[in-house]
Amino acid sequence: MAPHVSESALAGLVEDLAGEVITPGDPGYDEARVLHNGMIDRRPAVIAQCATQADVSNAVLFGRATGLPIAVRGGGHSVAGSSVIDGALVVDLRRMHHVFVDPEAMTVRVEGGATMAHLDHACQPFHVATTGGRVSTTGVGGFVLGGGSGWLERKFGLASDNLLAADLITAEGKHVRADADENPELFWALHGGGGNFGVATSLTMRVHPLPRTSVAMLFFLPDDAPEVVRTFRDLGERAPDEFGGGAIYLPAPPEPFVPEDMVGKLVCGALFTYAGPVGELRDFAAPLFALDPVVQIVTDIPYVDLQSMLDDPPGLRNYWSAEYLREFPDEAVDAFCDRGARIPPGTATQHVLFLMGGAVAAGSSRYPQPWRTAPWAVHPFATWEDPAYDDQARQWVHDVRADARPWAIESTYLNFVGSEGEQRIVSSFGEENYRRLAAVKAAFDPDNVFRYNQNIVPAG
């Protein structure tokens, strides 16, 4: 049972915070505890809507003094809902969303509660960008600290490869900076180790000259899927780093470009981007266009629009996982397509094959992210509305994982999975990396205060 928090302790927090304190019964409480995943309905004891770095420190100290468990919330996209916990103090960073671009230094400093939309909109006027997630409402904090996979990753690396420095508030409420020179072990650990080591109040990232961007969304009938996926696989194996994206099964969305009689019916598609003009995209992907898609959208697109193109409304029920594959032979194509054809009807589930490689693979030896060496990843992404589909959707995701086993490596990208147990976390980092991460955890959070995450248990 969560400890009782006295009125006077709460009044002290209200006094200390430039931001707002919300408790059950306050107006706005229900809105403040909602997460992207509609399956999560939790009731924290206190939500501290921090506005400044000092607020974060005060909130953490309040949590320690009262004994409340502490959850850290950015964009609220964690599929397991690790950012809102029953009976806990939620350190809510959403008011801290400012972004400062330095076009001379080619860096951007992002506050810990900013979303991808804040980042991309701030960068666009300066014609610069760094790798961002594929949905604009994802939080930069959880995304970058977990790794950060996006359309530009094959060209610019994972988002975490572009991390230059972080300001953190530790479990003792103290400020610590991590970069290549200052606290280098902590800096290393922040490349995939997530929110284990402290609350990031700001992240400084490298930016790159923004390339022109183009996108193609091609839908095919399910009977053509094996040939489409094989063609995508063959293209991927010789793709330049400008090319990114994947093959996908999904129920055709209710978009103006989808004929009415196809909406809701299962299609197989290819969804890919090019860091260059649409002509180059068309030339490179000509073998896919030659397969006669039934729907095709192919266009140049401003990067910020590309970044919000897949935005979904929050509130659907979500369950996902991911397996990273050392190879993707024809047998794997068949397994992918067989399972794609069996997406639970009545759900809005997507079955994605991501092309990895390029700059993602190039940075593999430096950081605790063994999964990034894999050339392919399967990402079953089940979403649905009606709780009656819960078991079916979860089972389908488990079946995708089982199908992928012959080609899967042990490591997975932990931002793409929910709570899959301690062993999954250890094998995702690799045992040696995990031991090193656990030592960093012991140095910065020996009491495991920040434990609502893909948790690294402090060494010793």
Ligand X SMILES: Cc1cc2nc3c(=O)[nH]c(=O)nc-3n(C[C@H](O)[C@H](O)[C@H](O)COP(=O)(O)OP(=O)(O)OC[C@H]3O[C@@H](n4cnc5c(N)ncnc54)[C@H](O)[C@@H]3O)c2cc1C
Interface residues with ligand X (CB under 6 A) are 36, 72-78, 82-83, 93, 112, 133-135, 138-139, 141-143, 145-146, 148-150, 194-195, 199-200, 312, 415, 452-453
Tokens of 342: 């069996």
Nearer to ligand X, 231 or 318 (CB): 318
Q: How many of the other CB atoms lie within 10 Å of CB of 221?
A: 15
CB of 69 to ligand X, least distance (A): 12
CB of 279 to ligand X, least distance (A): 26
Nearer to ligand X, 214 or 307 (CB): 307
Nearer to ligand X, 49 or 231 (CB): 49
Angstrom distances, CA of residue 296 to CA of 120, 152, 222, 273, 374: 26, 22, 15, 13, 29
353 closest CA partner among 257, 444, 268, 227: 268
Nearer to ligand X, 335 or 348 (CB): 348
CB of 36 to ligand X, least distance (A): 5
Tokens of 421: 């147990």
Nearer to ligand X, 112 or 293 (CB): 112
Nearer to ligand X, 77 or 441 (CB): 77
DSSP tag of 406: G
CB of 384 to ligand X, least distance (A): 14
Cα 36 from Cα 313, distance rounded (Å): 8
DSSP string, 295-353: EEEEEE--HHHHHHTT---TTSEEEE--EEES---HHHHHHHHHHHTTPPTTS--EEEE
Overall residue count recorded for the chain in this entry: 460
Nearer to ligand X, 231 or 415 (CB): 415
CB of 318 to ligand X, least distance (A): 7
151 closest CA partner among 246, 61, 224: 246
CB of 422 to ligand X, least distance (A): 16
CB of 34 to ligand X, least distance (A): 11
140 closest CA partner among 121, 115, 167: 115
Tokens of 228: 């489409």
Kind and range of the H or E element at 14? Answer: helix 7-16
